[in-house]
């Protein structure tokens, strides 16, 4: 079981990676020690939704930790090929389609033990605050009680580089994912100057590229 399904999935995955490489200097991540020896899952990766690229970053993360995941996408109709990397339709003004997606999600999580990426706030919005969670998380937890909610803090930073950098901090399974996500966001913002493992390499700053070019010419 992989995140990218077939040749089309690999092509879509390649598109996602190229986009992240172009838009970011680097993407970093940290894992709670729990992930040294995790349970088989499934998991619900509960992330804040403060940036357009959140879904792309979670694609990198679930691929890295090797827990193939489903992902509800509001604009799925614009690019249905996302289905080949776990995407599912979740249009804002179509309750019938949303209900069908939730039912299918529950079935797949039960039968195939796939995990779920969930932006539980429900909408993309400017941070840094965390909005109230909708009902979807509790509904999935009720119908797939073996699924473990995991807070994932995503923090973007523009301060020191030409392109933004992203930091993903992955907690351990939580009984109060909203509170733990809020705390994890604060912790992450306080640790941006520390050394983080690399999740995805992006595009160096122009001065970094010039420096590398000068070295290569010596």
| More reliable by pLDDT, 78 or 218 | 78
Categorize the per-residue pLDDT at 1 as very low, low, confident or very high, splitting at 50, 70 and 90: confident
pLDDT tier, 206 (very low <50, low <70, confident <90, very high otherwise) = confident
Write out the residue range of the structural domain in which residue 182 sits.
Answer: 6-216
Total domain count for the chain?
1
Q: Report pLDDT digits (tens) over 45-80.
A: 999 999 999 999 999 999 999 999 999 999 999 999
Confidence band for 216, pLDDT divided at 50, 70 and 90: low
List the one residue out of 77, 108, 117 whose CA is nearest residue 93: 77
Q: Residue 39: inside a domain, yes or no?
A: yes
Over residues 108-126, the pLDDT tens digits come to 999 999 999 999 999 999 9
Does the residue 1 lie in any domain? Answer: no
Does a structural domain hold residue 48?
yes
CATH number at residue 200: 3.40.1130.10
pTM over 0.85: yes
184 lies in a domain? yes
pLDDT at 214: 57
Task: Give the pLDDT of residue 162.
Answer: 84
- What confidence category does residue 213 fall into, taking pLDDT thresholds of 50, 70 and 90? low
């Amino acid at each position: 079981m992989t995140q990218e399904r077939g040749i089309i999935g690999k092509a879509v995955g390649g598109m996602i990676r190229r986009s992240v490489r172009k838009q970011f200097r680097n993407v970093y991540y940290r894992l709670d020690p729990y992930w040294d020896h995790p349970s088989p899952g499934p998991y619900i990766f509960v992330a804040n939704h403060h940036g357009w690229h959140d879904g792309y970053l979670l694609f990198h993360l679930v691929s890295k930790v090797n827990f193939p995941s489903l992902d509800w996408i509001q604009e799925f109709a614009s690019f249905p090929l996302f289905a080949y990397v776990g995407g599912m339709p979740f249009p804002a003004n179509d309750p019938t389609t949303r209900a069908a997606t939730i039912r299918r999600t529950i079935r797949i999580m039960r039968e195939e033990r796939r995990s779920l990426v969930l932006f539980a706030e429900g909408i993309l919005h400017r941070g840094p605050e965390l909005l109230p969670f909708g009902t979807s998380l509790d509904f999935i937890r009720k119908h797939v009680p073996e699924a473990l909610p995991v807070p994932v803090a995503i923090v973007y930073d523009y301060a020191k580089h030409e392109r933004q950098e992203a930091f993903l901090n992955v907690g351990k399974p939580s009984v109060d994912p909203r509170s733990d996500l809020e705390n994890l966001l604060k912790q992450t913002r306080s640790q941006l100057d520390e050394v983080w493992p690399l999740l995805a390499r992006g595009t160096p700053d122009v001065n970094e590229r010039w420096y590398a070019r000068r070295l290569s010419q010596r």
